[in-house]
Structure 1
Amino acid sequence: MVNPVCYRILEDIARDLSGDEVTFPTFLDLTFRIRTALKNPDLAIEQLASLVGAEPLMSVRIMRMANSAALNSSGRPIADVKSAVTRVGIKAVRTVSFAVAMEQLLRSKKMAPFEALSHRLWDHTVLVAALCRVLARRLSPVNPDEAMFAGLVHDIGAFYLLSHAVNFPELLADHEEVIALLRQWHDNIGHALLSALGQPDEVLQAVLEHEQPRALSTVRTLADVVYLANRLADTRCSWSGDGGRGQLDGEALSGVIEGDALAMLLAEAEQEILSLKAGLGG
């Protein structure tokens, strides 16, 4: 049975998602506007630079990435957003924009009551995103950049629920109830939120199904990639605090990955995490 306070949160979210405008931090809206713009094959660098330049922190992070040792072999610093966007590449802009948005959400004063939980969520999210990129590249026909984006948004429903839970004082001291709410509803809420934001069907499916147990013999779809990445991440970094929740058995990975190959994938994912954090300056 749903706790009465939790039921009020769900009602609040249902009203929000059924309205004309979704209530979520404005800096996340920029991320989805960037993603939508990138669907245009004729998008000009000037247009993308204009979008990035609309958010000061986003501009700073893209400039920092462009001037990093990895991308600036000439040693000549870049001082304008257009040149920075050109150097880092369009796909990197999309990934960094979402990561910056979630970082801002974590640091907002509003989220302070759930600081520890939100940081566990973000650590888990970054690991899943890195694993998605590696798994897509090594084991599937899925585009690695699309996989990484899906990993970054796979638990967006949990962040969205937290951003609403802080408005209910009754829950601020009852973190167990909040975690139970997130466990039960974050995948469905994430699906509804991303649908309202116009995300593609394959991303919606991956978000909706990432907690549904299944046995995999191959990794063919985006949903497969996100599911496997989430299970692997849970064995090392579970935001719910339930250490046994993510344990993998042989049947779940039969014919997909095992032994030394798994260790190599995890090591490669760690490098992806370092790369992402370097771009964010964190």
Structure 2
Amino acid sequence: MNRLEAFKSIAAQAGRGELTFPTNVDATLKLQKALNDPDCHAEAAARLVQAEPLLAARTVAIANSVAYNRSGSEITNVRTGVQRVGFRTLNALVAAVIVRQLDTKIKNPALRAMANQLWQHSAHVAALSQVIARRVTHVDPDTAMFAGIVHEVGGFYLLSRAEEYPGLLDGEPEEWANFGEIEIGRCVLQKLGVPNAVMEAIEAMWSGMRALPPENLGDTLLLANDLSPIESPLHQRPGATTKQAAVTIDFAVGDGTLQSILEESADEVRSLTSALL
């Protein structure tokens, strides 16, 4: 089976709803459903989060990040962390756990290295999206961070299946975008219950079309993706590194510029990225 046939096979399975997830993903999806229940209050949410060590650690870390800890008062428990970050951010953190769980069954060192790079890229995009949303486009920052976390979930799913299809990732990274990203990515996003507004923003990013200055969630996500210092191993840009491309992106924002905002927000981006990693 060649690469194109392998992409088509995985996409066809995904289209039929035949998605192969590690067992721990199914458990976290149940947790996600429980947290999304309108009757789930903060105390119940804290108990649910405490039962998942990785989620508990990330919740406290995000709550202590510069973006959420404006007072500088460090917290050390999940209950206070849940109260500080709120349910929308908590939903983004659950998504982060699910995305990371997709690569738990990867044994091949080269594939694990790609998955680690992909997560570093996603964490940077999520942090940049949160700041750009709050300071530039004025869309909901928590939704923007969530979109950044899940925007490469199709790629994680592909990596999780790659050992079943030898040679799947040989060749040019752009072939993933051309042959598999939309079909596979959309199915995985639907399985994870990603809201339509976020789906539309990610699809806009796939198309590569954005406005400058950015105006909406899709623009926010695409700009954050372009500014990320870590490239996706599945989407290498021809002819220029991310850093070289990013320094050319600037525009006026009120009395400042994008670059001045990024400089002012550098600590927030670093803090958020570190908490997600």
TM range (shorter): 0.7 to 0.9
Q: Which has the higher contact order (CA 8 A, sep 6+)?
A: 2
Aligned to 2:114: 117
Deviates more, 1:151-160 or 1:207-216: 207-216
Aligned to 1:216: 211
Q: 1:261 pairs with 238, 257, 260, which one? A: 257
Give deviations 1:98-151, integer Å, cap 9, x for gaps.
333434445654353313322222222122112211111122231011011011
Q: What is the letter of the counterpart of residue 209 of structure 1?
A: A
Aligned to 1:232: 227
Contact conserved, 2:132 with 2:224, CA < 8 A, in 1?
Answer: yes
**TM-score of the aligned structures, taking structure 1 as reference length:** 0.75
Distance in structure 2 (CA, Å) of the matches to 1:88 and 1:249:
32
Shift of 1:74: 6.8
Distance in structure 1 (CA, Å) of the matches to 2:93 and 2:191:
22
Shift of 1:203: 0.9
Q: What is the aligned-residue identity percentage? A: 34
Shift of the 32–271 alpha-carbon distance from structure 1 to 2, 3 Å rule, reads: farther
Q: 1:97 pairs with 90, 94, 97, which one? A: 94
Give deviations 1:144-165, integer Å, cap 9, x for gaps.
1101101111111111111111
Contact conserved, 1:136 with 1:147, CA < 8 A, in 2?
Answer: yes
Distance in structure 2 (CA, Å) of the matches to 1:31 and 1:271:
30
Shift of the 4–222 alpha-carbon distance from structure 1 to 2, 3 Å rule, reads: same
Q: 2:191 pairs with 163, 187, 196, which one? A: 196
Q: 2:267 pairs with 252, 261, 271, which one? A: 271
Distance in structure 2 (CA, Å) of the matches to 1:88 and 1:30:
23
Unaligned 5+ segments in structure 1 are none
Shift of 1:35: 5.0
Trace 1:25-104 onto structure 2 (pairs within 5 A).
25-29=22-26, 32-33=29-30, 35-63=32-60, 77-78=76-77, 81-104=78-101
Shift of 1:248: 6.5
Distance in structure 1 (CA, Å) of the matches to 2:257 and 2:89:
27
Shift of the 273–95 alpha-carbon distance from structure 1 to 2, 3 Å rule, reads: farther
Trace 1:166-185 onto structure 2 (pairs within 5 A).
166-171=163-168, 175-176=170-171, 179-184=173-178, 185=180
Shift of the 148–73 alpha-carbon distance from structure 1 to 2, 3 Å rule, reads: closer
Contact conserved, 1:127 with 1:273, CA < 8 A, in 2?
Answer: yes
Unaligned 5+ segments in structure 2 are none
Contact conserved, 2:99 with 2:153, CA < 8 A, in 1?
Answer: no
Contact conserved, 2:6 with 2:165, CA < 8 A, in 1?
Answer: no
